[in-house]
Amino acid sequence: MTPFLGEFIGTAILIILGQGVVSNVVLAKTKGNNSGWIVITFGWAMAVYVGVFVAAPYSGAHLNPAVTLGLAAVGTFAWSSVVPYIVAQMAGAMTGSLIVWLAYRPHFSETDDANAKLAVFCTAPAIRSPINNMITEMIGTFMLVFAVLYIAAPSITLNTTEGKLGLGAIGALPVSLLVLAIGLSLGGPTGYAINPARDLGPRIMHFILPIPKKRDSDWGYAWVPIIGPSIGALLAALVYRMI
């Protein structure tokens, strides 16, 4: 498996299981309907665990453009590999989102709330305040990337030619617990995107797919979970290099 394919498959798994748990909680007539925030945060944590574990031997399991930027900014990942990794992550996120839609397709027809249908695919703030929402995403992603840099450090091999710097399989559990902690502690204001591909890829699929009685895809907010995590990742790299 090539690094590109590893990132594609790992990110697709992340979205299938992560977006899947949101679908189970918010869509009508599912077995897990209204089971709440704790179920969502645990589901996303397990999604990270499986995605990282599968992809780690092949790509380093970034599964997140913010993580890719952070590793490149500290000099342990080749800048020439950044764009291919992000392309793979976006393609994986869109593919995973499509698969979740297929799995839950009848439940979209049974759900009247158009906001709930959008929530399956992408994040939205509890209180809409773009600057504050961006700051929240910056903080959450800072915590993610700063910790990942320490978790990844013992397992990385300096192979910047192939650009496979990232998490070894042993990092899957601590990173999943880290994402669980971020979701429980910092996820309330924005839904903790902390991953531009996780938000933008499925948001594009919400726009494309023939979902009955859907609302707009909230493109006015879409920049927040892209810019916030990107800045947070670069700040984490800066602080990491200063220590």
Tell whether the model's pLDDT for residue 191 goes beyond 80: yes
pLDDT-based confidence at residue 159 (cuts at 50, 70, 90):
very low
Q: Is 86:3 a contact under the CB 8 Å cutoff?
A: no
CA-CA distance, 198 to 54, in Å (whole number)? 17
Q: What mean pLDDT do residues 193-203 have?
A: 98
**% residues pLDDT > 70 (the chain):** 93
CA-CA distance, 8 to 198, in Å (whole number)? 12
Q: Is 101:211 a contact under the CB 8 Å cutoff?
A: yes
pLDDT, residue 160, reads: 40
Q: Is 51:10 a contact under the CB 8 Å cutoff?
A: yes
Give the end-to-end CA distance of the chain in Å, rounded to a whole number: 35
Q: Is 221:128 a contact under the CB 8 Å cutoff?
A: yes
CA-CA distance, 185 to 195, in Å (whole number)? 17
Query: How far is CA 139 from its chain centroid?
Result: 15
Quick: pLDDT tens for 26-61. 999 999 999 999 999 999 999 999 999 999 999 999
Q: What are the structural domain ranges in the chain?
A: 3-242
The single residue listed with the structure tokens 């996820």 is 187
Tell whether the model's pLDDT for residue 164 goes beyond 90: no
Q: Is 33:40 a contact under the CB 8 Å cutoff?
A: no
pLDDT-based confidence at residue 2 (cuts at 50, 70, 90):
very high
pLDDT-based confidence at residue 157 (cuts at 50, 70, 90):
very low
Specify the amino acid at residue 113. D
pLDDT, residue 158, reads: 39
Quick: pLDDT tens for 65-94. 999 999 999 999 999 999 999 999 999 999
pLDDT, residue 161, reads: 42
Sign of the Cα pseudo-torsion (113, 216, 97, 180, in order): negative
Fold (topology level) of 3-242: Glycerol uptake facilitator protein (1.20.1080)
